[in-house]
Structure 1
Amino acid sequence: MMKNECSVVQDVLPLYLENMVSEGTTVFVKEHLENCSDCAAEFERLKSGRQIDEAAPQREHDTDVITAVKKKIAKKIFKIVAVVCLVFAVLFCAVLFYTGISYPVTKESISLSTKTDSEYTYIILETKAGKSLFFESKTEDILNDHNEVCGRRIVLYNVQYHNSFTKNTSSMSWGKPLNDEKPYLEVIVELENDTLQISNAE
C-alpha cells in the first residue's frame, strides 16, 4: 500500500511543488512526505532543481548587465584615448609649424668673437635669443705664402634662424691648441646679403 502511495505522490510532486493540486491532495501529499523519507528526499531534489532553474535567468540577466557595463567603459576609454591622441597630434603639428618657420640671419643678429685661455684659442659664435641656428658648413685648409697649410678655415652657409622654445642665447665655438703646428683658425659666415669673418689672429 505504501509503495502505491509513493508512486502516486511522486507523480503529483511536480504539481504539488507548483501549488497546482487540490486542497485535499495537498493535505494528502504533505502527510505522506512527513512519514516517507524516500518521497521527502525526492521532493527536496525537485525543489532544489526548481531553485536552480529560477536562479538561471537572474544569472543571465546579471551577465548581460556586466557585458553592457564593460562595453560602455570600453567606449569611454576609446573616446578618451582618441581625444588624447588628437590633442597630441595637434600639439605636435603646432610645434612643427612653429619651429619650421625660418628667418634670414643678419649680421646684427649673431656675433663672432675670440677667446684665449692658457691652452686654447677659440672663435665663438653667439645666436639671437629664442632662435635656433641652422646652417651647412665646409672646412678648408688655409695656405701661407709658401703654399703650406698653416691652419683651418670653417665656412658656414645657407644660414637660417628657426623659432625655438628657449629664451636664452646659444653659442658654438671652434678651438685650436696654442702649441698646434698649424694654429691659424678662421670662421666665415656667409649671410644672404653680407659676410662675417673672424680669425684667432685678430
Structure 2
Amino acid sequence: MRFLLIEDNAPLASAVVDRLSLDGHVVDHAPDLETARDFSATTAYDMILLDIMLPDGDGSSFLAHHRSRENGAPIIVLTARSEVSDRISLLDQGADDYMVKPIDFAELEARCRAVLRRRDSGPGTGSRTLGTIRFDPASGTLGVGGRDIQLRTRELRLFEILINAPGMIFSKSALVDRLFSYDEDVSENAIEVYVARLRKHLGGSDVAITTVRGLGYKLEQM
C-alpha cells in the first residue's frame, strides 16, 4: 500500500514512516499542506494520514478539498483535539476515522487495516480467494495446493495490488509508483524480479500473472 502522511512533527513523522515501512508499505511524508497538495495531485494513494494543525493552515481544508474531488482514498485524521464535538465535525467532513495524539502505533496499524477492509470488501478478515489460491494480507501468506507460503514484504504488497483487481493490467511504471517512495531510486527491472518470484510461488495453481506485451501484467485465473 502507498500512504501519504501529512504531519509537521518531524520525530513523530519519522516514527510513523519507519513503522509502516517495516510492514512493506510505501510512505510519502508531507510536512505541510502545500507539499501534500503537490503529492496528491500526481500520485494515487491507498491511505492518507492527516494532521490537522499544520504550519500553513488547517488540515480540515485539505480534507474538504480531497472529498470534493471524490477521491476514494480513505483518510485517518491524527489530532491533538480530544473534544467530542471536534471529532464529530471531522467525521462529518468526510474523515474515515481519527486518532487522538499521542499515537499508539499498533492501534494505528489496526485502524488502517480496518478502514481498508471497509473500503475493499466490508467487514471480514480481508482474505482473498481466486481459483485455487487463498491470500491473507494480514498474515502475509499465500495458500497454494494445501501449503502456505510466507511472502516477503515487496512480494506481499505487489500481490496485494494484483489480487485486489484481477484481470486489470498494471504497467511496470504504475507498479513502481505503488511499491516505492519518491526517495527510492528503483528501476522497472525490480518489478520483473518480484513478478518472477510470485510466478514461482503460484506454480501448480490455476492462477497466473500474465504478461501483456507492451502494457504490463495482470493476475488471472486460467
Shorter-normalised TM range: under 0.3
Larger Rg: 1
Higher helix share: 1
